[in-house]
Amino acid sequence: MSYINPFLYKAGPIDFNLRLIKQTKHCRHYLVDFPVVSANCYRGGEVARGEYFEPVNKEHAPLLILIHGWGNSVLPFRWMLPGLLRRGFACFILFLPFHPSRLPAEIKPHMSNLTPDEWFTFYQMAVTDVRRIIDWATQNVLANQRQISVIGLSMGAVVGSIAMGIEPRITTGVFLIHGGNTGKIMQTNSISRFGNKYRIPKNEYRENQKNYANYLMELADKGFENVTPLQRTYLIDPLTYAPMLKERPVLMINARWDEMFPQETSSDFWKACGECERVILFSTHASIWIWYPLIMRKINRFLKSSL
């Protein structure tokens, strides 16, 4: 019943276009584009984009796939890059389908009120893009196949945790300010552009939560590809995939007063993935970067011990 998996694709040729834009004595910096091979795709969004940073003097370097959050929130990764490159990591920043460089014009006017089909297609494209980067890196012998990691931020952490759940080639995951149980996230978050437009009546919410809990129990018993979900949204919920991470190193960094991913939802994911290493910082979703030095110490120590 593998048709249940929305992230399957026909591999085809590895057609990545790299354009060198800068080289230093430590690294080469490329702009990258490649065809989207997701089963569904936005019209005008057929090309995926990103940036690749390659250490000059290290072959088969560990690969970090960095996945940003909503919009164009790439800046935190640019802060991280110098230190990661010095430590010998190759880094690929994937621009999500909602990044300005990829966003179709027809979606821009209603970015804060996307349809269920648009959300589903977004996750199909994003997760498949991650898998395609791994195809490219491994088949071109650019990366150590035993050391491929994702670092995801906010919505990028949702994408990264789903990708890690279905993609055994990802050995390690770092997920910043994210959680699981999309229904609960949309019902309990305090971000007006999401919460106010996606909340449903309480009785409907309780029924949906009951149905989702039953689905998760059935998954645990029968396996992901042997259970047909009652709602398609279950297939793009990181909590669905959290139990698949139990045997791999995962670091979660959460905000105590996260408006987007309330602490209960991050705890739900943490418990489901086997109570991985976790740090809870005294901040909101956006202000977590006041802890940047501590965040980087935690990430660097975790990667050193896990890879």
pLDDT at 42: 87
Of the pLDDT bands very low, low, confident and very high (cuts 50, 70, 90), residue 2 is very low
Give me the domains of the chain, ranges plus CATH numbers: 12-306 (3.40.50.1820)
Neighbours of 100 (CB within 10 A): 9
pLDDT at 195: 56
pLDDT at 193: 62
Of the pLDDT bands very low, low, confident and very high (cuts 50, 70, 90), residue 203 is very high
Kindly report, residue by residue over 12-70, the tens digit of the pLDDT: 888 999 999 999 988 999 999 999 999 999 888 899 999 999 998 877 899 999 999 98
pLDDT at 194: 60
pLDDT at 196: 65
pLDDT at 214: 97
Q: What is the 3 state secondary structure string of the chain?
A: CHHHCCCCCCCCCCCCEEEEEEECCCEEEEEEEEECCCCCCCCCCCEEEEEEEEECCCCCEEEEEEECCCCCCCHHHHHHHHHHHHCCCEEEEEECCCCCCCCCCCCHHHCCCCCHHHHHHHHHHHHHHHHHHHHHHHHCCCEEEEEEEEEEECHHHHHHHHHHHHCCCCCEEEEECCCCCHHHHHHHCCCHHHHHHHCCCHHHHHHHHHHHHHHHHHHHHHCHHHCCCCCHHHHHCHHHHHHHHCCCCEEEEEEEECCCCCHHHHHHHHHHCCCCEEEEEEEECCHHHHHHHHHHHHHHHHHHHHC
pLDDT at 3: 64
Kindly report, residue by residue over 86-102, the tens digit of the pLDDT: 999 999 999 999 888 88
Q: Which residues of 198-213 are buried (b: 16+ CB within 10 A; e: fewer)?
A: beeeeeebeebeeebe
Kindly report, residue by residue over 235-287, the tens digit of the pLDDT: 999 999 999 999 999 999 999 999 999 999 999 999 999 999 999 999 999 99
pLDDT at 237: 98
Q: Is the pLDDT of residue 74 over 80?
A: yes
Kindly report, residue by residue over 143-180, the tens digit of the pLDDT: 787 899 999 999 999 999 999 999 999 999 999 999 99
pLDDT at 1: 37
Mean pLDDT of the chain: 92
Q: Six-digit token pair at 277?
A: 């290493």
